[in-house]
Chains A and B, each alone.
Chain A
Amino acid sequence: MKIIVAIKQVPERDAPVRIAPSANWIEERELQWAMNEPDAYALEEALLLKEKAGGEVIVLSAGPERVGSTIREALAKGADRAIHILCDDLGARDALGVARLLAAAIKPENPDLVLTGLQSEDVGSGQTGVIVAELLGLPHATMILQVETIEPGLKVKRELEEGWFQSIELPTPAVLTMQSGGNKLRYATLMGIKRAKTKELRTVNAADLGVDGASVAMLERISVPKKQKSTQILPGSAREAATALVEKLKTEARVL
C-alpha cells in the first residue's frame, strides 16, 4: 500500500508563544518547533500498516525551510521518502488554501491512502484532511483510532463523543484523519536517524503548484483571550499557597 502522511510543524507544546508586532500571527523567531502530535499518530499508523502489508510511506509537509527538521524526524522514524512544499506564508492561508497545496502535491503520486492528524495544535481548524479528500474526490473518515485492511478497502475505528465509537468501512483510495492515542508512538533509532540522511527529500515551491492561495476566512488579528473568571492566584511558597487554598475552599467556596 502506498501511503502519504501529511504532517505539520507546530510550536513546541510548552514554548511560550507571543504575538508578532503585526498582530496577525505569532512571533516565530526563537520558537522551538515539533511535529504536530496527531500527525505523529498518523505517521505511526502508516508505519504499522507498512510493516504489516508492505508498501511505501511518503511524508508530505508544507511550510518554510525550518519544516525540514520535522520531515527528517519522520524519515528517521521510518518513512521512505518526503515531499516538502516550500511555502513562507502558510499562516496566511486558510484551511482550503493549505489543502489545495497538499492535494496538488498528492494527486500525481496516486496513493492508496492519505493519513493526517485530526487537527493542528497551532491553528486547530481540524479541516485540512477533510478538504483534501473533497478536492481529490476521495471518501474520508475522521477521528480514527485504528485502521485495518479488509477485502476490499479499509475498516476503521472512529471515535464519537462521550466515550462512544463506531466502525466504518470504506474503499481505497481514501483519506483518514487520525486521533491521538490509538497506538504508542515510536522513537527514532540512531540507525534511523543515520538512514534518514540518505533518503529522498524532494522540495516543491508552493508557487509552482499553481493553486489559488487567496483566503476566504481571513485571520485579521491575534489577541490574548479575555478571562472568563477572575482567578485568585494564591501566592507564597508551596506550603503557604496550599494552606491558603484549603482555607479558601473551606470558608469561601465551601466545598470541603
Chain B
Amino acid sequence: MSVLLVLEESNGKVKRASWEALAAALRFGPPESVTAVVIGAQTEALAAEAAAKNVGKVIRVEHPLLAQYTADGFSTAIEQLLRNQDATKWVVFAHTYQVRDYAPALACRMGQVLIGDVVGIEDGPVFARQLMQGRLTGSYRHTGSEPCFVSVQTGAFRADSDSRPGGTVAPVQLFSPNLDAAQIRTRPGEPFRGSAQTVDLGSAQRIVSVGRGIKDAANLPMVQELATALGAELAASRPICDNGWLPMERQVGSSGQTVAPKLYLAVGISGAIQHLVGMKGSQCIVAINKDPDAPIFEVADYGIVGDLFEVVPALTEALKAAKQ
C-alpha cells in the first residue's frame, strides 16, 4: 500500500497546504508507506524539510527543465516516476492552482481521473467533495485501476503531528526524469502582482464583505455605511470585483486575500468554497442572506435570514443606537 505525496514549493519552502495533504495521505497507510516527492531544478533544501516530517522516504525529482513550473514538465516528470516505481496505490496532492493545472492531465495519461478538491475521506475509502457551489456534498468512490489520484482542499485536513518521531530524518533518493526542451510547449513568465495593493485586509480587525445579493453597484453605499458604523473595512466576493463594482484588491477568497479578522460580516454572499477558504479562519462570522440553505450559514456563528435591503440599514441603525 504505497502512497505518493506530491509536495509544492512556494518561496523556497514547502507550502502549508502540502502538509495538510500529508495528513490526508496518512489516512491511506502508515508513515513508512508514504513517499514525499519534491520537484524542481534544485530540491535539496525542500527535500531536507520533507525528510524531517512523518514520511517513509523522500524522492527529489530533479531536472534543469523543472526550474520553473510548467504543466508539461511536471506531468511528464511525475508520470516517469510513477512508471519507474513499484505499484503506487495513491497519489495525493494539495488542491492548489498549480495542481489544478497539471494533475488532471497526469491522471489522464495514466487512464485515471483526479478526485479533486476533497474535503473528507471516510472508510471505503469514500471521498467527499462539494457540489453545487457547496450546497450539496458528493460521495465518490474510485472504481478504476491504480493509482488513484486525490487532491485535498485547503483547510480540510489539519497539518499537525506530522513531524518524524525522535528527530530522525527519512532517507532521500534522487530521481532524474528524462526531459527534453521540446516536450515543454508553454513558456511561462515571472509572476507579477496586479495593481499596487493599498488596502491590507489581512490586518483589519473587522470586515464587512458584500456579494452578489447586493444586485447593483448603486446599492454599495448602504453597505459602506454599515462598514463605517462598525469601523470595518469593506471587502467583497469575486463577482463584485469581476463586475468592477469594487477594486480587485478588496476581494476575499482563493484568488484574492485571505483574512482572519475578529469579526467578518458577510452580506448577500452565498459562500462558494472559493470565498470560504479566504475567510473561514475569522474569529466571529455573521451572515446575512435571504437563502436559509446558503453554504455561508455552515461557517457562520450568527445568521440573519432575510432581505439584506431591510437588514443592513436596520443593523446600521442598531449599531449607531448602541454607541450612544
- A, B in one complex: yes
Residues of chain A whose beta carbon lies under 8 Å from any beta carbon of chain B: 11, 13-14, 16-17, 19, 26, 94-96, 99, 121-127, 130-131, 133-135, 139-143, 159-171, 179-181, 184, 215-229, 231-234, 238-239, 241-243, 245-246, 248-250, 253, 255-256
In the bound complex, how far is the Cα of B321 from the Cα of A256, in angstroms?
A: 13
Q: How far is the CB of B317 from chain A (nearest CB, A)?
A: 7
Residues of B within 8 A of A143 (CB): 97, 100-101
**How many residue pairs between the two chains, A and B, have CB atoms under 8 Å in the bound complex?**
257
Please give, as numbers and ranges, the residues of chain A lying within 8 Å of B117 by CB-CB distance. 124-126
Query: Given A124-B133, A221-B139: A95 and B311 within 8 A (CB)?
Result: no
Q: How far is the CA of A91 from the CA of B283 in the complex (A)?
A: 38
* 7 A-B pairs with C-beta separation under 8 A: A139-B186, A163-B251, A168-B186, A170-B186, A171-B185, A242-B304, A253-B263
Instruction: Give the CA-CA distance A8 to B115 in the complex, in Å.
Output: 20
Would you call A253 and B284 a contact (CB within 8 A)?
Answer: yes
B interface, CB within 8 angstroms of A: 71-72, 96-97, 100-102, 104-105, 107-109, 111-117, 126, 130-144, 185-194, 197, 206, 212, 230, 238-239, 241-244, 248-249, 251, 254-258, 262-263, 270, 280, 283-287, 291-293, 295, 297-307, 310-311, 313-315, 317-319, 322
Asked if B318 and A239 make an inter-chain contact with CB atoms under 8 angstroms apart, the answer reads yes
Complex contact A216–B144 (CB within 8 A): yes
Do A11 and B132 touch (CB < 8 A)? yes
Which residue of A95, A140, A163, A232 contacts B193 across the interface (Cβ within 8 Å)? A163
Q: Complex: how many Å from CA A139 to CA B130?
A: 29
Query: Are B322 and A220 in touch, CB under 8 angstroms?
Result: no
* In the bound complex, CA of A242 to CA of B286 (Å): 11
Q: Which residues of B contact A222 (CB under 8 A)?
A: 131, 136-139
- CB atoms of B135 and A17 under 8 A apart: yes
Is there contact, CB below 8 Å, between B137 and A225?
yes
Contact of B101 among A17, A130, A171, A229 (CB under 8 A): A130
Question: Considering only CB atoms, which chain A residue lies closest to B212 in the complex?
Answer: A13
Q: Is the CB of B97 within 8 A of A161?
A: yes
- Besides A169-B186, A225-B130, A242-B304, 15 more A-B contacts (Cβ < 8 Å) are A94-B113, A130-B102, A131-B104, A134-B104, A143-B100, A159-B97, A169-B189, A181-B238, A218-B143, A228-B299, A229-B301, A241-B311, A249-B302, A255-B284, A256-B319
Cα–Cα, bound, A168→B97 (Å): 15
From B141, B243, B251, give the contact of A220 (CB < 8 A). B141
**Inter-chain contacts of B107 with A (CB < 8 A):** 96
Also in contact, A164 and B314, with CB within 8 A (given A17-B135, A130-B101): no
CB distance from B290 to the nearest CB of A (A): 9
Contact A245 B141 (CB under 8 A): no
Select which of A163, A221, A255 is within 8 A of B248 by beta carbon.
Answer: A163
* Distance in Å: Cβ of A229 to nearest Cβ of chain B: 6
Question: Complex Cα distance A139/B212, Å?
Answer: 35
- Cβ-closest 8 pairs across A and B: A181-B242, A216-B144, A127-B104, A139-B185, A238-B310, A167-B189, A242-B314, A130-B104
